[in-house]
């Protein structure tokens, strides 16, 4: 049996050629990754203000498509390192909005405020670790690790799909009593409930911040927890926002174009709470944004409390002088079902 060395050599050479042709195709294939933005309960009352998942490892040249799935607005935004964050209405100055973008860390990239069924695709051109934020919500963050094409990625798409489903479930089913209510919008009062409201007290939203190794995320209850309040003429109702991050308003009558500042008929109580007097269901009153002060950070000025100019307020009070039915909304979240009414008896 003669060993055909010439033939063996030819075969080896042919296999080598095949290998050389095949390997670059595997390495160069640019992957398309999928992630989601936000999550909501069926009644839209519970909103996960989160990127799901919020940490992804990819190769330079790969793309990620974010799919928006909520009625609440969000953005997908990558700022330059150290760049000052602007309101979502301003986004990234000079960047033209569209369905896709490329990002290498040198310029800011963002969507406008998007809702369910919209998507945004970013192709990452350079290696690095890039922070992902939503310009609508602070404490809604993530990170994209862009590795060299020769690096091995730790996870595949199935892993991220599973992780996103798990985080979505954990956030929306948060069992903390302060944020739990049933999905019909009814709040069952419980004597052990630490946020149980005394008479004339209304919880105007609840929120909690949690985190993964990819960064903080928030779950918010976009509801007036006690949507109907019954009082007598001359009494005062007090609304309190129990959550960080998410602003709400208490708005009677005509909704102003800009709900952020209080209407002119709102005054400040000595403890800084805003206060209005309503004489008739025809009156219009807007609390302005009721929200917690931003989290303190070393190196930044102390945030303001009222009555300082620009100070934040977590409470709003209304004194009702006459009987009647007074419907109101949160101007930011009425589309999610955040509405209530005050019934004033004689
Ligand atoms: Cu609201």
Instruction: Please tell me the distance between residue 53's alpha carbon and the centre of ligand 1 in angstroms.
Output: 25
Is residue 307 reached through a cis peptide bond, with omega within 30 degrees of 0 on the bond before it? yes
Phi first, then psi: give them for residue 125, nearest 5 degrees. Answer: -90, -25
DSSP state of 57: E
Instruction: Please tell me the distance between residue 205's alpha carbon and the centre of ligand 1 in angstroms.
Output: 7
Instruction: Please tell me the distance between residue 338's alpha carbon and the centre of ligand 1 in angstroms.
Output: 6
Average pLDDT score over residue span 57-66: 98
Instruction: Please tell me the distance between residue 331's alpha carbon and the centre of ligand 1 in angstroms.
Output: 7
Which tens digit of pLDDT belongs to each residue from 205-238? 999 999 999 999 999 999 999 999 999 999 999 9
Ion ligand 1: residues, CB within 5 A, are: 248, 330, 332-333, 338
Instruction: Please tell me the distance between residue 234's alpha carbon and the centre of ligand 1 in angstroms.
Output: 26
Domains contained in the chain, CATH given = 32-173 (2.60.40.420), 179-295+303-345 (2.60.40.420)
Evaluate if residue 174 carries a pLDDT over 90. no
Choose between 98 and 277: higher pLDDT: 277
Q: Are 144 and 66 in contact (CB under 8 A)?
A: no
Which tens digit of pLDDT belongs to each residue from 282-338? 999 999 999 988 888 888 888 777 666 667 899 999 999 999 999 999 999 999 999
Instruction: Please tell me the distance between residue 34's alpha carbon and the centre of ligand 1 in angstroms.
Output: 30
Rg (the chain; Cα; Å): 26
Which tens digit of pLDDT belongs to each residue from 114-157? 999 999 999 999 999 999 999 999 999 999 999 999 999 999 99
């Amino acid at each position: 049996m003669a060993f055909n060395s010439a033939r063996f050599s030819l075969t080896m050479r042919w296999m080598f050629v095949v290998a050389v042709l095949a390997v670059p195709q595997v390495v160069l294939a640019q992957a398309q990754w999928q992630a989601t933005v936000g999550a909501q309960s069926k009644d839209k009352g519970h909103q996960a203000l989160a990127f799901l998942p919020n940490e992804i490892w990819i190769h330079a040249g790969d793309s990620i498509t974010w799919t928006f799935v909520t009625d609440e607005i969000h953005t997908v935004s990558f700022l330059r390192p150290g760049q000052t964050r602007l309101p979502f209405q301003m986004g990234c100055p000079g960047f033209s909005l569209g369905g896709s973008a490329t990002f290498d860390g040198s310029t800011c990239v963002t969507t406008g405020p998007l809702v369910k069924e919209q998507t945004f695709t970013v192709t990452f051109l350079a290696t690095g670790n890039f922070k992902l934020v939503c310009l609508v919500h602070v404490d809604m963050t993530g990170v994209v690790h862009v590795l060299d094409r020769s690096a091995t990625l730790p996870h595949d798409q199935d892993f991220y799909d599973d992780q996103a489903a798990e985080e979505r479930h954990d956030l929306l089913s948060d069992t903390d009593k302060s944020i739990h209510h049933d999905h019909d919008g009814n709040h069952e009062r419980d004597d052990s409930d630490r946020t149980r409201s005394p008479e004339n007290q209304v919880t105007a939203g609840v929120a909690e911040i949690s985190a993964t190794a990819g960064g903080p995320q928030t779950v918010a209850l976009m509801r007036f927890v006690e949507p109907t309040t019954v009082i007598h003429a001359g009494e005062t109702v007090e609304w309190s926002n129990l959550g960080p991050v998410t602003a709400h308003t208490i708005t009677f009558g005509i909704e102003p174009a800009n709900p952020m500042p209080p209407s002119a008929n709102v005054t400040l109580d000595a403890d800084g709470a805003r206060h209005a007097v309503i004489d008739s269901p025809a009156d219009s009153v807007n609390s302005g944004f009721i929200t917690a002060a931003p989290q303190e950070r070393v190196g930044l000025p102390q945030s303001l409390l009222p009555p300082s100019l620009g100070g934040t307020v977590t409470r709003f009070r209304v004194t009702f002088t006459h009987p009647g039915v007074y419907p109101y909304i949160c101007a930011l979240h009425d589309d999610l079902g955040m509405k209530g009414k005050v019934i004033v008896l004689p």
